[in-house]
């Protein structure tokens, strides 16, 4: 059932519409007196739906991050084909920032801001603040929420969950379930309080942030794994009894275990190591070359043994440009 989360009229006959796909299990729908095609607001016994376990999957906060679009599609397709195996509610929010997705812009077009710096929002505030408040109010109370992001156009990321150390005790066990390669626990000082995840965790809705792939692209293998991870998480909460795939157990890391490789020279970065693979200390990660002179300006070598979980995707670099991140301590 497609339901409206937020709606507002914009200048020049434009309309801002944030929607969700609310998927209700077959048995639950019958118990609530919900007929096919009806919205949950039309249920004869809405209290039944209010008591049911509910999980939320969010993506599209940043308009240039498209990996979550396939996750939303695959998850909705599977759930709708097996409603008899769904024993609660799954809310899928594929486009929190629809204007950004339509124009492939990270922020909200015309407002020059990052939507993920506005939460928890304000119902009486500006348009973007009201949108943020509506999203938080709609999601809160879910047993869990997964906020799916992609990297930018410059870097490729392995599937990972990023967690504030303040909420690590509650969230790390859940992160084990969603088929990512590792969990990066950040120091609380590096976590912004204006994000959707922080705002939802602050009101008691356990929320995981996923980063994967590269900006403006869809990585089929990784997004399929994540869609299966959403089913696995739903199974944990008793919402899903159907099949799901399990893709190993993630590594857990703290900030002190991550090495950052930054460019010392300007030029074109040519990777020599394979993204997502283990690398050894001193191994060649890539070269920074000068196409005009035909010279190598820098050999980029790994500072420690570990997992190459971030690798430069966009080749033009300048001094200080991030080239790679390695998860060490192995």
Tens of pLDDT, residues 152-180: 999 999 999 999 999 999 999 999 999 99
Least trusted range by pLDDT, from 109-113, 141-145, 234-238, 311-315: 109-113
For residue 189, the model assigns a pLDDT of: 61
Q: Which residues pair with 296 in a beta bridge?
A: 289
Distance CA 18, CA 98 (A): 7
The closest of 36, 27, 59, 48 to 230, measured between CA atoms, is 59
C-alpha dist (Å) from residue 160 to 112, 180, 201, 291: 28, 5, 18, 34
Q: The tokens 């109010």 sit on which residue? A: 137
> How is residue 219 annotated by DSSP?
-
The percent of residues above 90 in pLDDT, for the chain, comes to 90
Per residue in 230-274, pLDDT (tens digit) is 999 999 999 999 999 999 899 998 766 899 999 999 999 999 999
% of the chain exceeding 70 in pLDDT: 98
């Amino acid at each position: 059932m497609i339901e409206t989360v937020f709606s507002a009229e914009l200048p020049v006959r434009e309309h801002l519409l944030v929607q969700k796909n609310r998927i209700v299990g077959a048995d639950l729908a019958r118990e609530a007196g919900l007929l096919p095609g009806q919205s949950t607001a039309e249920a004869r016994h809405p209290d039944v739906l209010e008591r049911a376990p509910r999980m939320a999957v969010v993506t599209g906060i940043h308009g240039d991050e498209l990996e979550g679009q396939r996750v939303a599609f695959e998850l909705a397709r599977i759930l709708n084909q097996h409603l008899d195996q769904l024993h609660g509610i799954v809310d899928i929010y594929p486009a929190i920032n629809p204007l950004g997705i339509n124009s492939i812009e990270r922020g909200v077009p015309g407002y020059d801001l990052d939507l993920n710096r506005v939460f928890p929002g304000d119902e009486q505030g500006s348009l973007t603040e009201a949108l943020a408040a509506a999203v938080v109010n709609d999601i809160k109370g879910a047993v869990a929420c997964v906020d799916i992001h992609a990297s930018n156009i410059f870097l490729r990321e392995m599937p990972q969950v990023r967690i504030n150390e303040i909420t690590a005790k509650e969230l790390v066990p859940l992160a084990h379930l969603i088929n990512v390669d590792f969990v990066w626990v950040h120091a609380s000082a590096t976590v912004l309080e204006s994000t959707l995840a922080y705002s939802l965790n602050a009101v008691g809705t356990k929320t995981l942030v996923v980063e994967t792939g590269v900006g403006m692209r869809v990585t089929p293998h990784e997004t399929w794994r994540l869609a299966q991870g959403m089913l696995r998480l739903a199974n944990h909460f008793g919402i899903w009894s159907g099949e799901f795939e399990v893709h190993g157990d993630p590594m857990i890391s703290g900030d002190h275990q991550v090495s950052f490789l930054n460019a010392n020279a300007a030029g074109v970065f040519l990777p020599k190591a394979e993204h997502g693979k283990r690398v050894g200390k001193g191994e060649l990660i890539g070269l920074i070359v000068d196409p005009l002179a035909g010279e190598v300006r820098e050999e980029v070598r790994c500072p420690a043994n570990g997992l190459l979980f971030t690798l430069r995707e966009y080749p033009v670099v300048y001094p200080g440009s991030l080239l790679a991140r390695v998860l060490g301590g192995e």
